[in-house]
Structure 1
């Protein structure tokens, strides 16, 4: 059997409502946690608690990008600040070395919850990086 190498994580595309709004230097898709519910029935013969799945919680998605002239994310953030809270679908696509999409995740009903501007340092020659955190109502893998 031939050995199959795992995919590299540096080649990805982020779509917001099916549109590429720029390149992102880093994406953290958050985590999924399912709280256990513990209970015990009084007549249960085993002296232990039983567990079943409870509420599902999704960690925020963080997008980081180099400061440029694109303003779509700031416009989206401002609409949330203004009270309209436009929810969008975020798609994260992982690509192989030939830029073919090999895995895909969909973030459902996302909206900006935190914005972090770049820090400023006159003695640095690093790229100016902004970031935004997105709250959402679920993430699912839609392509194996």
Structure 2
């Protein structure tokens, strides 16, 4: 077993079955919760400030990859949500992010619950650079947990 596992071999799946693998991503970021705090000053105490916990928040899950074809299930889902004008209800998805070993077996896994797209963008095209066109998808989510 590799420890710590390298971050360059990973896969992303969408839906509860885990079979909708759309894993050609260049980068995945935004996993994990963060607790907001509130500063409270205690009267007569000037040495420090109390930091009290408030609510857990989750950053957006950001997925970057080369611009996909129109057959991409992820792209179709993003279009339905982002271009639908809220005429249809948003159907959140379960997303899994896997760190893989050299044989493609999961070493670590995170489940991202109730994810839905909130932004889709394409990075700038530049005639002076020889790079792949990159699309960026941002997903809001209700919670995440490490499952492996």
Runs of 4+ aligned residues of structure 1 deviating over 3 Å after TM superposition are 36-41, 47-53
Per the TM alignment, residue 50 of structure 1 is displaced from its structure 2 partner at its CA by 6.3
TM-score (norm 1): 0.80
5+ residue gaps, structure 1: 42-46
1:26-60 Cα deviation digits (max 9, x unpaired): 1113442112356799xxxxx68766533110000
Q: Secondary structure at the match of 1:132?
A: strand
Give the count of matched residue pairs: 137
Q: Secondary structure at the match of 1:75?
A: helix
Q: Secondary structure at the match of 2:147?
A: strand
TM-score (norm 2): 0.78
Instruction: Give the equivalent residue in structure 1 for 2:37.
Output: 36
Query: Aligned partners of 1:74 and 1:105: how far apart in 2?
Result: 21
5+ residue gaps, structure 2: none
Q: Secondary structure at the match of 2:98?
A: strand
